[in-house]
Copies of this chain bind each other. A is one copy, B any other.
Amino acid sequence: MNDTDEQWQAAERLALTLTEGGLQRMAARTLAVFLFTDAETVTMGEIADRLGVSAGSVSGSVKSLLSVGLIERLPAPGSRREHYRLRDDAWATLFTSQNTVVRLMLAAAETGIDTTTASDPAHRRLTQMRDFYQFMLKEIPTLLQRWQERQQPLR
């Protein structure tokens, strides 16, 4: 990996930002490697070297990135090492994972509404909350669909 200092810094800074976005620290650094590598695919060993961390850490973060669908394991080309790469729809996937939170918020609001009577001010507040997240839950898939459509012609 022939990256410059500048590139390494940019990668680490991007990793910090990803952390803000909800990823764990190690998973974020690993994802940054996937983004910045000049190879098409990466192995766990390369990630560990690049970040200077233990194989155990890499194993854990690769597993979590796989489970949320940000990276994919490639059909092994006869090598002993597994090869991985960033998925094309990684960013949409990352964004969509917030959908889960929206869904939970909606459910929480509905539960709350059930515990209150219509005259309780809490009832009004919770209804407002529910309406908002209901709206979002409906709109976010539409938004992502528009993104996909916009991407299609460019491929």
Residues of B within 8 A of A4 (CB): 115
Question: CB-nearest residue of chain B relative to A154?
Answer: B131
0 or 1 for each of A109-137: is its CB under 8 Å from B? (1 = yes): 10110111000111001101100110110
Residues on the B chain within 8 Å of A101, using CB? 17, 20-21
Contact of A129 among B22, B91, B139 (CB under 8 A): B91
Q: List 27 A-B contacts (CB under 8 A).
A: A6-B115, A7-B112, A7-B122, A10-B112, A10-B114, A10-B115, A13-B108, A14-B108, A14-B109, A17-B107, A20-B101, A21-B101, A22-B22, A34-B125, A35-B125, A36-B112, A37-B122, A38-B120, A38-B122, A86-B125, A91-B129, A91-B133, A92-B132, A95-B132, A132-B147, A135-B147, A143-B143
How far apart are the CA atoms of A104 and B20 in the complex, in Å?
9
B121 and A40 contacting across the interface, CB-CB below 8 Å: yes
CA distance A120 to B92 in the complex (A): 23
A132: contacting residue among B91, B116, B129, CB under 8 A: B91
